[in-house]
Amino acid sequence: MPLKPFRPSIALVYLVLGGSFALLSLTFYVAGFQPLAERLREAHGQIIDHTLDSTRWLVQGALDRHIALARQTASRSAIRQQQVRYLAGKMDLADLRAFANPKLRDALKANEELLGIRRLGPDGTPLLQVGWSPDPLPEASRCTLPETGDQEGGVRIHGPFPLKGRQVLVYCSPLHGPGGERIGMDQLLMDAAPVQEILETPHGEDPDTVTLGVVTADGRLLFWPRGAIYQDARQRLQAHLAGNPIGDGIHIHYRPLASVDWRIYGVVHTRAFFAETNRQLWRLSGLLAILAALIFVAKILALRPIIRALTQMHHLTERAHRDGMTGLFNHAHMQQLIDREIERSQRYHSPFSILMMDIDHFKEINDTHGHPVGDAFLRHIARILKDWARTSDLAARYGGEEFMVILPETDPHGALSMAERLREEIARQPLEHRGQKLKITVSIGVVSCAGKAVGPSRTQLVRAVDDALYTSKRGGRDRVTQTVIDTAIPAGA
């Protein structure tokens, strides 16, 4: 049969098929591909913010750890009392050193990042020194007593300075006597390697994609990754700090630190950073041009980078919900979990309980054995909680030495039984430290709710369990106190 009569119809079919393909491709592009591409770039770009924020938290944590050690060393009252006596002429320098140096050496041994301690008199004269104590130090690192403005506990940071093949930070802490008078200054030499190691950690597949450094507010570069591969980023940052052009394809971001006038700067090579994203988008465009049926496969390929980016975001969110020392939930996230459990209990009229416990005589542990042992106790308690808790239970480090556990679907009898078992388990498991078994006990407060349609608020629950905890404390410690709430607590109670 001649095809000529059907050519218009065939052409129309081809036109309809071609138009359908074009419309389908356009619809996919407008409704799917274009928003997907924007979301992919946005999600991938958020990695920069998360990288800067996580690095700031890590650097801030390292500095805060050093500052806490400086304050702890400066706050040793026994040494300060003897220093006051020496300044008043009631003892000589040899006796002061014989008394103080062994205690300062103990502090030196307790922290491997602490390299040396020097205690200065009011006129800047060295009185005590242990560990590294080179003399003279660089002029910029010297601790001086300002005329005004330095309050008790204030810590200033100098450095880093090269010393014995290391980079060293100098922490200066003012010392005050019983009447608030200045009696000297502590000068702590801390290893700067923890800060440097944070910046040496790779950020992405290409080591020069995102480069991070620490810069002072006046533009002085303090820390930067070692290696020739980072030199281009360093030159770009220095040009930016000097107010000069940095070239195309470079973005520079920064985050301020809280405890010192420093900033975390990130130099991002945007072309390299988004190279993988661009490759995925071009690959998807090629597949669209070949066959409409491959659109679904192309979507899967395009979604993979998004899933990776969202997984990374989820991981960072999970870290934000956790306490860095114990791995349990932190205080802020626990508030959300309590609200969620209250809502679930009221909706399904199911009972639940909250347990709050506090380590007995925790201050004495820190005072007797040192803060590292106190931290070890916190991790020890957290491990016991993880082993003891059910899958559905939610455990958090609520405060310094306070822990909280939500017990879903748990009535008063079950909650009291579980709290007693937990108390006994902690008392039965001492902490091994230097060949000694250090025993510990906890005081526990328990609040149980019957699961009424209208129940107590989070604030009321927390207040009730806190009151129960302190009843256990006042009653002699190492015990459990329970409160049962059958109805809503009146407002203001």
pLDDT of residue 296: 47
Average confidence (pLDDT) over 58-80: 82
Q: What is the DSSP letter of 205?
A: S
pLDDT of residue 470: 94
pTM over 0.85: no
End-to-end CA distance of the chain: 95
Q: Are 481 and 356 in contact (CB under 8 A)?
A: no
Name the amino acid, one letter, at 349: H
Architecture in CATH for domain 331-485: 2-Layer Sandwich (3.30)
CATH (residue range 75-133+145-195): 3.30.450
Percent of the chain past pLDDT 90, that is, above it, reads 19
Q: Which two tokens stand for residue 89?
A: 């002429």
pLDDT of residue 312: 58
Round to whole Å and give the CA distance between 18 and 245.
50
Strand segments (E) across 287-386: 352-359
pLDDT of residue 258: 83
Average confidence (pLDDT) over 56-76: 82
Report which listed range, 94-108, 128-142, 193-207, is most confident: 94-108
Q: Are 115 and 168 in contact (CB under 8 A)?
A: yes
pLDDT per position as a tens digit, 371-401: 888 899 999 999 999 989 888 889 999 988 9
Q: 185: pLDDT confidence band, cut at 50, 70 and 90? A: confident
Beta-carbon contacts of residue 414 (< 8 Å; ≥ 6 apart): 353, 407
Round to whole Å and give the CA distance between 202 and 456.
48
pLDDT per position as a tens digit, 422-476: 999 999 999 888 878 889 999 999 999 877 656 788 899 999 999 999 999 999 9
Round to whole Å and give the CA distance between 395 and 355.
9
pLDDT at 147 over 50: no
- What Å distances lie between residue 113 and 260, 354, 366, CA to CA? 19, 40, 19
pLDDT of residue 464: 93
DSSP 420-464: HHHHHHHHHSPEEETTEEE---EEEEEEEE---SS---HHHHHHH
* Residue indicated by tokens 């140096």: 101
pLDDT of residue 273: 63
pLDDT of residue 139: 56
The total of other beta-carbon atoms located within 10 Å of residue 341's CB is 21
Average confidence (pLDDT) over 109-130: 85
Round to whole Å and give the CA distance between 473 and 359.
10
pLDDT per position as a tens digit, 394-426: 999 998 899 999 999 999 999 999 999 999 999
Q: Look at residues 192, 242, 314 and name the one whose alpha carbon lies nearest to residue 200.
A: 192
Q: 19: pLDDT confidence band, cut at 50, 70 and 90? A: low
Q: Look at residues 438, 367, 445, 369 and name the one whose alpha carbon lies nearest to residue 402.
A: 445
pLDDT at 308 over 70: no
pLDDT per position as a tens digit, 247-306: 887 888 888 988 788 999 988 877 766 656 666 666 666 666 666 555 544 454 454 565
Q: 134: pLDDT confidence band, cut at 50, 70 and 90? A: low
Q: Are 299 and 32 in contact (CB under 8 A)?
A: yes
Q: Which two tokens stand for residue 440?
A: 């510990």
Coil, helix or strand for 265? strand
Q: 186: pLDDT confidence band, cut at 50, 70 and 90? A: confident
Q: Are 167 and 199 in contact (CB under 8 A)?
A: no
Q: What is the mean pLDDT of the chain?
A: 79
pLDDT of residue 243: 87
Q: Look at residues 385, 383, 398 and name the one whose alpha carbon lies nearest to residue 323.
A: 398
Q: Which two tokens stand for residue 393?
A: 């239970």
- Residue scoring higher pLDDT (111 or 74): 111
Q: What are residue 439's phi and psi, to 5 degrees?
A: -85, 155
